[in-house]
Chain A
Amino acid sequence: DAGITQSPRHKVTETGTPVTLRCHQTENHRYMYWYRQDPGHGLRLIHYSYGVKDTDKGEVSDGYSVSRSKTEDFLLTLESATSSQTSVYFCAISESERGAQETQYFGPGTRLLVL
């Protein structure tokens, strides 16, 4: 496995509370991504980063924000969690935009339950 960890691995929280998920990599890869995985929807991109302090929205970014102050860490924040954000969240990294190393490597996932 590529050096990607996610914390926490499981989280139960209440509606309206803020939640921050952390993705940490030891590969020094430039690109980092946050996805959510839901039955019937597959993997959907929330936000991604193409460098320190450089982030952009994915297809389901509403209700989420991200920050990347260091190469190795990419944080996903739910400012005010809602039940619709109950999901499994995956972080991924890739080395380059194009070329032979464009494969994405995934973290183990974080299961979030919003009550």
Chain B
Amino acid sequence: AQRVTQPEKLLSVFKGAPVELKCNYSYSGSPELFWYVQYSRQRLQLLLRHISRESIKGFTADLNKGETSFHLKKPFAQEEDSAMYYCALRGNTNAGKSTFGDGTTLTVKP
């Protein structure tokens, strides 16, 4: 079975502060991990995926297989980063199905 845990439902930081959204997963094989973001009144969209090792909008996430984590980080949060963030896992055996965490609502205060 695959499982994704986002321990924080709500996270609030001030503009310019570092931010880290936590994601832990449980999966016996080699997972593919993603972060999706949903801005207010917009559809869910991909933010980044571990396989690409990219930085999008200043966010990065490193897959740590030892700690089974895929935390999302940004050194200096901006107000426009306020959104709902979902961590997702896609296993390598179940035909395209992804498991999502419960989401973390990030609020960046001015």
Contacts and interface: CB of A to CB of B under 8 A. Distances in A.
Interface of A: 1, 31, 33, 35, 40-45, 48, 50, 56, 58, 90, 92, 94, 96-98, 100, 102-109
Contacts, number: 58
A40 B44 contact: no
Contact of B100 (A1, A44, A96, A102): A44
Contacts of B101: 42
Size category of the B interface is 20 to 34
Contacts of A31: 96
B12 interface: no
B92 interface: yes
A42 B103 CA distance: 6
12 contacts: A33-B97, A43-B86, A45-B98, A48-B97, A94-B96, A96-B96, A97-B96, A103-B49, A106-B36, A106-B43, A106-B44, A106-B45
Nearest to A30: B96
A90 B44 contact: yes
B74 interface: no
A108 B41 CA distance: 9
B95 A97 contact: yes
Contacts of B51: 100
Contacts of A35: 100
Given A90-B44, A106-B43, A40 B98 contact: no
A41 B96 contact: no
A102 B102 contact: no
A43 B57 CA distance: 23
Contacts of B65: none
Contacts of B43: 1, 90, 106-109
Contacts of A48: 95-97
Contact of B96 (A44, A102, A106, A107): A102
